[in-house]
Amino acid sequence: MYLFILFCVLFLGPHLVFSETFPEYFKFAVSTSAYQVEGAWNLSGKGPSVWDWYTHTYPEKIADGSNGDIACDSYNKYEEDISFLQDLGVDYYRMSISWPRIFPSGYFNEINLEGVEYYLNLFKLLKAAGIEPLVTLYHWDLPLVYHNMGGWTNPLLADWFGEYARRCYELFGSYVKYWITLNEPQTTCTNAYSYGTFAPGYSLNGVATYICAYVHLLAHAKAYHIYHDEFYAEQQGKVSIVLVTYWGEPNNSSSEADVAAAKNFLQFSMGLLAHPIFIGNWPQVVIDEVDQKSELQGYTRSRLPKFTDEQVAYIKGTADFFGLNYYSTYMISDNTNAAEILYPPSYGTDIKITLGLNSSWPNSASSWLYNVPWGLRKLINWVSNQYNKPEIIITENGYSDDGSSIDDAGRIHYLNGHMCEVLRAISDDGCNVTGYTQWTMMDNFEWNAGYTERFGLIHVDFGSDNRTRTPKSFYEWFKNVVKTNTINCTGF
Ligand SMILES: *[C@@H]1O[C@H](CO)[C@@H](O)[C@H](O)[C@H]1NC(C)=O
Ligand SMILES: *[C@@H]1O[C@H](CO)[C@@H](O)[C@H](O)[C@H]1NC(C)=O
Ligand SMILES: *[C@@H]1O[C@H](CO)[C@@H](O)[C@H](O)[C@H]1NC(C)=O
Ligand SMILES: *[C@@H]1O[C@H](CO)[C@@H](O)[C@H](O)[C@H]1NC(C)=O
Ligand SMILES: *[C@@H]1O[C@H](CO)[C@@H](O)[C@H](O)[C@H]1NC(C)=O
Ligand SMILES: *[C@@H]1O[C@H](CO)[C@@H](O)[C@H](O)[C@H]1NC(C)=O
């Protein structure tokens, strides 16, 4: 036996011997968010969110003109949802709370007890099913009143968000031990505030981009400190934030300029939010580039808002783990032309890169999503090295189909490859990844793609009043991985 094991290690390599079993402590999960699944947008006392307003006012900005008015109707069908979770055997469920469902005006002078009851019922059922909730406080459905006051460009939102977080810890903290303050600020600050493709549709590229990141960081830190100062002693939970980036691979790894460009890309995308939290202050390259370019552009102050020393200290260290989302990779090339473009100011020309793809990468139903599993392993290693080996939970990773079939071989192929890379990041690279969350439990309202891109492991029939749920092929595949804690990585 001893000789046989030695033989395997020496001649077959570590993958075959170790890599196919996840560590015992490893947790599996699926995820959703409130606006994408709940529906009941104007029922049971809920107030309007920025996404309600945006989809109703500008249906032409959504690929199929749709909205989340009913979505998966999870407000009414959560018991069925939880029975699927139980059948899947997942350890936890990542979901979000809708701020305007429990505080319809956005403020705290009025509480909607029906909304509170909905989440309490959900948490009680999850508990009975032995499933841990991992709860996002804010997954983009901002109460409309705050949008009317500038949304994520108004620094006062940090205080309002802090108060909202406090109320949620009070109301739900006995059930919830894993809190996420904010989901993917990078996506909000680019798509929603720079490019105008997500609600509220602002095109304030290169200016609001950084103000938005600044306000998110202040809001996150406030919610983190409130938990640790007022609730941790009793509730003993963890609080973090979910951050996202594409992996950026140098297009020509022999070119110093491309290697530097890929590093800058990661600092501008991931570092913009992660550096202030895990190291302190903005990444130096962001400060240098944006300050210098703002001056060349004739601004009287930098487009990058600066933190005071107190703010740097207040934001630093406000994460009990690293919530990491990954979907795809870009090849990054240096772009000297962009460096010379002064007007209009933009986040893209601040970074000075060109994004590229490799034609060998399989695409999904989403134009931006390619199957590049090694990008996830490289990103996990990068996060681990940059931020002093934090505990990492993969809080999203997933693949889209077009909804026409429940035979989703493309999804199985994508997720098999990605989960194998997570395993290698743990067993071969020593990164501390403790959980993996598939996006998403069921097909749902996919923001400006409406219902045209489907990420679910369960198909939802949006043409039926019943919103009938039908497991796709991937469902059984994933269920087996969760049950056995092992995965077959041969060929991946
Ligand atoms: C809620 O919105 C729907 C459209 O999604 C509308 O038909 C209905 O009348 C509204 N109900 C209330 C109570 O406002
Ligand atoms: C990336 O590299 C390939 C060759 O490997 C080249 O054809 C392509 O033009 C490069 N892309 C950019 C934007 O430089
Ligand atoms: C990659 O960069 C190196 C160093 O600058 C250069 O010699 C080489 O020609 C480049 N390769 C391609 C395919 O452009
Ligand atoms: C695309 O990826 C393949 C496989 O990794 C690699 O052999 C090829 O050189 C890449 N092509 C470009 C243009 O980078
Ligand atoms: C991973 O992180 C957890 C939580 O912080 C910690 O308890 C554990 O010791 C870490 N494991 C490794 C291998 O660093
Ligand atoms: C409603 O959907 C559930 C699954 O989501 C299914 O089991 C049930 O048969 C459906 N009922 C009708 C009337 O279609």
Residue 334 lies in a domain: yes
Task: Give the neighbor-by-neighbor strand order of the sheet with 329-334.
Answer: 247-250, 329-334, 353-356
Which DSSP string corresponds to 166-232?
A: HHHHHHHTTT--EEEEEE-HHHIIIIITTSS-STT----TTTHHHHHHHHHHHHHHHHHHHIIIIIH
pLDDT, tens digit (0-9, with 9 covering 90-100), for 215-258: 999 999 999 999 999 999 999 999 999 999 999 999 999 999 99
User: What is residue 1's predicted lDDT score, i.e. its pLDDT?
Assistant: 32
Q: What is the pLDDT of residues 153-212, one digit of tens each?
A: 999 999 999 999 999 999 999 999 999 999 999 999 999 999 999 999 999 999 999 999
Specify the pTM.
0.96
Residues with CB under 6 A from ligand 1: 42, 69
Q: Is the pLDDT of residue 11 over 70?
A: no
> How does pLDDT run across 290-346, given as a tens digit for each residue?
999 999 999 999 999 999 999 999 999 999 999 999 999 999 999 988 878 899 999
Which ligand is nearest the CA of 337, by number?
2
Please check whether residue 2 lies inside any domain of the structure. no
* pLDDT score at 34: 99
Kindly state whether residue 431 falls inside one of the protein's structural domains: yes
Assess whether the C-beta atom of 235 lies below 6 angstroms from ligand 2. Answer: no
Segment 85-144, tens digit of pLDDT: 999 999 999 999 999 999 999 999 999 999 999 999 999 999 999 999 999 999 999 999
pLDDT of residue 339: 78
The structural domain count of the chain equals: 1
Question: Would you say residue 7 lies in a domain?
Answer: no
* Residues 304 and 220: beta-carbon distance below 8 Å: no
C-alpha span between 352 and 248 (Å, rounded)? 13
Flag whether 9 is in a domain.
Answer: no
What pLDDT, on the 0 to 100 scale, is given for residue 143? 98
Residue 179 sits in which domain range? 18-484
State the DSSP code for 492.
-
For residue 473, what pLDDT band results from cuts at 50, 70 and 90?
A: very high
CA dist., res. 121 & res. 110, Å (int): 21
Q: How confident is the model at residue 368 (pLDDT cuts 50, 70, 90)?
A: very high
Distance 211 CA to ligand 3 centre (A): 38
The residue assigned the tokens 């006995």 is: 174
Is residue 5 assigned to a domain?
no
Atom of ligand 3 nearest to the CA of 258: 2
Domain CATH number, residue 292: 3.20.20.80
Report CA(266)–ligand 2 centroid distance (Å): 19
Report the nearest-CA residue for atom 13 of ligand 5: 432
Which pair of tokens denotes residue 273?
């939010």
Find the length of the chain.
492
- Which ligand sits nearest to residue 69's alpha carbon? 1
Give the residue, out of 77, 468, 472, with the most ligand 6 atoms within 8 A of its beta carbon, to mutate for a pocket test.
468
Catalytic residue set: 184, 396
For the purposes of burial, counting CB atoms within 10 Å of the CB of 385, is it exposed (0-12), middle (13-18) or buried (19 or more)? exposed
pLDDT value at position 284? Answer: 98
Q: Supply the pLDDT for residue 415.
A: 98
In a domain, 490, yes or no: no
> Which of 266, 274, 268 lies closest to 315 in space, CA to CA?
274
pLDDT at 8 over 60: no
Residue 2 in this model has a pLDDT that exceeds 60: no
pLDDT for 3: 36
CA 491 to chain centre: 28
> CA distances (Å), 145 to each of 70, 100, 206, 460, in order?
22, 10, 25, 32
Closest residue CA from atom 4 of ligand 5: 391
Residue 18 in this model has a pLDDT that exceeds 50? no
pLDDT above 60 (res 391): yes
Whether 176 is covered by a domain: the verdict is: yes
Shortest-distance atom of ligand 6 to CA 466: 1
Task: Find the ligand nearest to 389 CA.
Answer: 5
360 within ligand 4 shell (Cβ under 6 A): yes
What's the one-letter identity of residue 389? Answer: K
- Cβ proximity of 331 and 251 under 8 Å: yes
Q: Give me the pLDDT at residue 17, please.
A: 41
Per-residue pLDDT of 46-91, as tens digits, reads 999 999 999 999 999 999 999 999 999 999 999 999 999 999 999 9
Which residue minimizes the CA distance to atom 3 of ligand 6? 468
d(Cα 87, Cα 84) in Å, to the nearest integer? 5
